[in-house]
Amino acid sequence: MDKLIMRLIRKFQTNDPFVIAEGLGIHIRYADLGEATKGLYYKKLRRRFIVIHDVLPDDWRRFVCAHELGHDRLHPGFNRFWLDEQSFFNVGKYERQANKFAIRLLTSGDTLGRSETVGELLARNGIPKEMDKFYF
């Protein structure tokens, strides 16, 4: 996973998931996805889409984009919905991997400082504090 992330960052000269997705030809859309869904990734007629819930704050939009980009890179062929209930309580293997991908992408090049908490590192990188349990 780390090599994949480093290749993406080298190729696109950024760790911004929106720029990377655009560079890969993934279309970003915003829609009302209901209360339980933050985002989803799907393919239709060889076109790839990331749909982000339109009421999310900017930090969550960025994280969800990175998470769904993780599904595109790690789980080709799967269409995945990212559900709150799945993400926070009984996270499946693919969701854990996508969360880990998102955190590693968004924190790339940054490390924990002396006496710094994981929460502080994530906050500095604009990652929602609820995702601290996926940092490892």
pTM, two decimal places: 0.86
Residue type, 100: K
Q: How far apart are CA 94 and CA 22, in angstroms?
A: 23
**Could you tell me the two tokens for 109?**
């090049």
Residues 6+ away with beta carbon under 8 Å from 28: 18, 21, 22, 49, 50, 52, 65
Q: What is the pLDDT of residue 69?
A: 94
Which three-class secondary structure state does DSSP give residue 135? coil
Please answer whether residues 130 and 114 qualify as being in contact, where contact means their C-beta atoms are separated by less than 8 angstroms: no
Q: Could you tell me the sign of the dihedral formed by the alpha carbons of 123, 82, 103, 72, in that order? A: negative
Q: How far apart are CA 43 and CA 6, in angstroms?
A: 24
Tens digit of pLDDT at every position of the chain (136 positions): 889 999 999 999 999 999 999 999 999 999 998 888 898 888 888 899 999 999 999 999 999 999 999 999 987 766 555 444 444 444 478 888 899 999 999 998 888 888 888 888 888 899 988 888 877 7
- Domain extents in the chain: 2-131
Domain 2-131 has CATH 1.10.10: yes
The DSSP bridge partners found for residue 29 are 51
